[in-house]
Amino acid sequence: MEDQEQVDKLLEIMPQCPQLKHVCFDDARGMRHYTQAELTSFDDLQAAGRDFDRRNPEFFAAEVARGKGSDIASMFYTSGTTGNPKGVTHTHEALITAGRAGAEMEGLAPEDEVLAYLPMAWIGQNIFSYTQSYIVGFCISCPESAETVGTDMREIGPTYYFAPPRVLEALVTQVSIRVEDLWWGGRRTYAYFMDLARRVGGKILDRQPVTPGDRLRYALGNLLVYGPLRNVLGMSRVKVAYTAGEAIGPDLFVFFRSIGVNLKQLYGSTETAVFVCVQPNGQVKADTVGPPVKGVEVKVADSGEILIRSPGLFREYHKNPEATAEAKDAEGWFHTGDAGYFDGDRHLKIIDRAKDVGRLADGTLFAPKYLENKLKFFPYIKEAVCFGHGREMVCAFVNIDFEAVGNWAERRNQPYSGYTDLAGQAPVYDLVRECVEKVNADLAVDPTLGGSQIHRFLILHKELDPDDGEITRTRKVRRGYIAEKYAPLVAALYGGKRECFIETQVRFEDGRTGSISANLKIADAKTYPVAAAKKAA
């Protein structure tokens, strides 16, 4: 443990943990009068280890020799999106095989550098910052704290980078806020070069043909906009960047690639040791996760569910044979629970979780996560939850991004007292409505999902919070739980009401509970016929 405060916590629960026999602490301040036999300082533990090594010089080598690749290397927990988190056990062979496949594909070298800023318990952090570093020998750097990650990114300049969509969304939000604060000439310059970047930036990154004029204009944009922007984001040296964990909005994906960041989508899970599908250089698409990596088999069942078989698969769920048998069949196929299909280039396209993909009452395909991700690309929307399965239309809950919308309101001299007050104001509803209608215009172009446009929405009076069980710690929406918790709001959306009163219990970080209440407005959004989509957009 770190210090006295952490030791006190363990001593308090020790009677409930009969197998807990030893507690080692690093910081000895305040520990002078602690006499419990279970306590040992880190200095004393090191001294005991050195003494043991002197008395047993062959012990370490012998223990290493006993190890096998099939031994359990570590256990990771799933995020708990669909239930309680499960302990996923992985062998050394599984982790090494998956890590090596990714490293070979990207040509990682000892000169590369990674910023290890993600939770240590997450398997992606283990693969990118531990397993692959041992395989390749590249440098791992750690941020000073969670608050200094942005500053440390700029100082270190990693060449190999990973970020879940939520982190990338936050970065784009920060950029949007800064752009809004520019003088009018700066905003026009930024808009001009970003329009150019979205048109030709990805082609230049993929070494596709571009006219000499566009290439010259892009080079000027790189000098004035893209280069400084990459520097601000700490991505000036990034050779390859991944995003995974959940689907990313196409616009968000295109933004980073258009400014010269080689961002690629990666598909995998805790159970697969991350690497299942990766987009190869020069074959990057905004709406796929690429083909399977070396040694991985992927097939799509008749139900649309994605099945995986690979050397990187987990051994079992810890002390949960029923869940293991349900996830892995007799032929070794792992049932992911994701729905998708292969396109004409054998790139895998993920639609949603298989259990979440549904249909509207008229039979239109309904993929809620796809819609939510399109909404979250806008800097003013932090989270979204869409409903529609079995119903006549799609409706949505929205969480505004308090920082972005607050900045927007302050520039307009619009007062507010806090999140709940700001979220309920009419100008904010108009702002969110504009975002929703842009999504609808974009959806109308898609013949498959054009009928799943969002008809009605409301802005929640509080942010969705993992402490309240509404999202997981990795910020995945628990849609079923939210629908049950806020059932009166869902009923009001589909009942044609213009407003609805709600009172919600919340849990604070210190463990206390309280409640937040508000009379929420319900707004309509414009929808577009598929034939009129291009004109409307």
* CATH-assigned architecture of domain 87-164+236-352: 3-Layer(aba) Sandwich (3.40)
Q: How far apart are CA 493 and CA 175, in angstroms?
A: 33
pLDDT at position 89 is: 97
Geometric angle at alpha carbon 215, from 212 and 216, rounded to 5°? 85
Distances, alpha carbon 489 to alpha carbons 152, 384, 392, 523, in Å:
42, 14, 17, 12
The residues pairing with 365 across neighbouring beta strands, listed in sequence order, are 359
pLDDT of residue 505: 83
Nearest Cα to Cα of residue 273 among 57, 114, 74: 74
Give domain limits for the chain.
Answer: 4-66, 87-164+236-352, 357-536
116: closest CA among 126, 127, 129, 107?
A: 129
Give the integer Cα–Cα distance in Å for 49 and 53. Answer: 6
Q: Cα-atom radius of gyration of the chain, to the nearest Å?
A: 25
| C-alpha distances out from residue 181 to 248, 294, 406, 415, 517, Å | 27, 47, 13, 18, 33
Rounded distance, CA 108 to CA 244, Å? 19
Same fold, 87-164+236-352 and 357-536: no
Q: What is the DSSP letter of 279?
A: P
Q: Of 360, 405, 396, 416, which Cα lies nearest the Cα of 523? A: 396
Neighbour-count burial of 183, counting CB atoms closer than 10 A to its CB (0-12 exposed, 13-18 middle, 19+ buried): exposed
pTM over 0.85: no
489 with 482: CB under 8 angstroms? no
At 83 the pLDDT is 67
Q: Which fold has domain 357-536?
A: GMP Synthetase; Chain A, domain 3 (3.30.300)
Residues 526, 528, 533: CA angle, nearest 5 degrees: 135
Ranges in the chain, pLDDT < 70 = 81-83, 247, 249, 474, 509-510, 531-537
The single-letter code of the amino acid at 309 is R
Q: What does the pLDDT look like over 431-490, one tens digit per residue? A: 999 999 999 998 898 777 789 999 999 999 999 988 888 888 767 888 889 999 999 999
374 is written with which tokens? 């399109």
DSSP 474: T
Give the burial string for 361-370 (b: 16+ CB within 10 Å, else e).
eeebbbbbbb
The pair of three-digit structure tokens given for residue 366, joined into one six-digit string: 């309904």
pLDDT of residue 56: 97
Q: How far apart, in whole angstroms, are the C-alpha atoms of residue 244 and residue 446?
A: 24
What is the 3-state secondary structure of 292-352? ECCCCEEEECCCCEEEEECCCCCCEECCCHHHHHHHECCCCCEEEEEEEEECCCCCEEEEE
Which of 472, 451, 449 is closest to 383 using CA atoms?
A: 472
> Could you report the per-residue pLDDT of 69-99, keeping only the tens digit for each?
999 999 999 877 666 889 999 999 999 999 9
Q: Are 456 and 525 in contact (CB under 8 A)?
A: yes
Give yes or no for a contact between 401 and 378, defined as CB atoms under 8 angstroms apart: no
DSSP 477: B
Residue 243 has a pLDDT of: 92
